[in-house]
Amino acid sequence: MPPHTPHVRRYPVVAICFAAIIFDGYDLIIYGSTIPALLTYEPWSLSRIEAGAIGSYALLGMFFGAVAAGTLTDRFGRRRLFLGCLIWYSVAMIAVAAAPTPELLGLFRFLAGLGFGGIAPVAIALVVEVARDTERNRLNALMLAGLPVGGVLAALAALNLHGILGFRGLWALGALALVLVLPFAWRIIPETAPPSGPDHPQQALARTSPLRELFAPAALPTLILFAAANFVGFLLVFGLNTWLPELMREAGYSVGSALTFQVLLNAGAIIGGISGSSLADRFGSRPVAASAFLLATIAIGGMATAPPPQAMYFVVLLAGAGSIGTQIVLFGYVATHYPARIRASALGLTTGVGRLGAVTGPLLGGILLSADLPFGWVFSVFGAIALLGGLACLLIPRHRDESESTLEADHGRQRQPHR
């Protein structure tokens, strides 16, 4: 934690970021949970490809939001960007719920995506900077577990409240962050970025050129590999979350059972993200992230065989641990790999490219389903993509000098009082 914020209580910060990410996850995943209802909504008469495209618009907005917020927060500070993104996506969800046409629904989801994409890199930077060195990955994973928790809540809400609220009411629930999270965030979230101004010319200079440092020839291969791994991770997260209910329905399960699989997918993500990040604190992020992608490959391949229902429940749980859970590990990998001065920019760029994978996932699922491919082939494609993510993690080079400089920059934290 920077010297100017030595007395920040880290657990309230983690809790507020966790709550914001829950709504982020809910708002993103509730769309996939309502796709079966949208496809039967006669006034719009959407095809699967059109529904997948609308689902991807928010994810495209996340690309721009992640890149912009990551860079801006290194320049202007974490607190402002965190509060701004929280307000932005909450207000946008009100517009989403009120969208009168599919075209405006897509536009409003794109605008909401700017906030969805921006909140994660800022929250990760906040948590990593208030955490102790030995718990960075673990606290980061606990915070990012809000994404699959939001997914679980989205599936449960769709199961239990759709008949009461309809799909518009389910979308509108995402705006509750304005009431349930924003007041606490306003009071608790600190500023952890280094100060700038006339008294800190060297820090101000460093903060004006994070992109130059990240795109330096020696650093660029690592940035590209992190971006590739994030692309795969996000493709799996949003491809599976968007189409799993419909895939399971196609396989013969009822709508209720199909949504239960989505609950299990996100429950597995919570287990995989927290356990994987705890292992990363102990053994390093590189082998853990690569192994988690391999688990996703095996589990999704198991789903392709259409095992008996009880076995499918277990396999879907493992798939969530290896796909969405791996994305949580990847966030921590990037955050702890880079020094504080460029951390949020690195997170913004790599997760921004990852958001392009998030756009690709729903589109790919829609195309594969529309091509009437066998059930197993669709999952086989996603499993093969997971294997590519593991390969990207294994190819990320170790930069000893960079790691040492990061440790030196953060060395004073061990002597800082934490509460």
Residue type, position 399, single letter? H
7, pLDDT greater than 50: no
Q: How far apart are the first and last CA of the chain?
A: 12
Give 278-294 pLDDT, tens digit per residue.
Answer: 888 888 888 999 999 99
Q: Let me know how long the chain is.
A: 419
pLDDT at 198: 42
Q: Give the integer Cα–Cα distance in Å for 361 and 350.
A: 17
418, pLDDT greater than 50: no
Angle in degrees, 0-180, between the axes of helices 340-370 and 201-208, rounded to the nearest 10: 20
Segment 1-10 mean pLDDT: 52
Highest mean pLDDT of the ranges 79-93, 245-259, 390-404:
79-93
414, pLDDT greater than 70: no
What does the block give as tokens for 406?
Answer: 């990061």
Segment 65-88 mean pLDDT: 84
pLDDT at 419: 39
Q: Which residues of 147-175 are buried (b: 16+ CB within 10 A; e: fewer)?
A: bbbbbbbbbbbbbeebeebebeebbbbbb
Range in 205-214, 265-274, 339-348 with the lowest mean pLDDT: 205-214
- Indicate the average pLDDT of the chain: 81
Q: Give the integer Cα–Cα distance in Å for 148 and 68.
A: 24
Task: Give which of 122, 89, 121 is closest to 191, Cα–Cα.
Answer: 122
Segment 234-251 mean pLDDT: 79
Count the neighbouring beta carbons within 10 Å of the beta carbon of residue 400. Answer: 8
The 3-class SS string of 326-379 reads HHHHHHHHHHHHCCHHHHHHHHHHHHHHHHHHHHHHHHHHHHHHHCCCCHHHHH
Q: Which has the higher per-residue pLDDT, 238 or 315?
A: 315
Contact 1, 415 (CB under 8 A): no
Contacts with 93 (C-beta within 8 Å, 6 or more apart), sequence order: 27, 112, 171, 172, 174, 175
Give 155-182 pLDDT, tens digit per residue.
Answer: 888 888 888 888 899 999 989 999 999 9
Q: Which has the higher per-residue pLDDT, 418 or 44?
A: 44
Count the neighbouring beta carbons within 10 Å of the beta carbon of residue 40. Answer: 10
Task: Give which of 246, 268, 270 is closest to 257, Cα–Cα.
Answer: 246
Q: Which has the higher per-residue pLDDT, 211 or 259?
A: 211
For the chain, which domains are there?
10-413 (1.20.1250.20)
Q: How confident is the model at residue 256 (pLDDT cuts 50, 70, 90)?
A: low
1, pLDDT greater than 50: no
pLDDT at 417: 42
Q: Which has the higher per-residue pLDDT, 242 or 322?
A: 322
CA-CA-CA-CA torsion for 124, 125, 130, 131, nearest 10 degrees?
Answer: 50
368, pLDDT greater than 70: yes
Q: Which has the higher per-residue pLDDT, 396 or 200?
A: 396
147, pLDDT greater than 90: no
Q: How confident is the model at residue 194 (pLDDT cuts 50, 70, 90)?
A: low
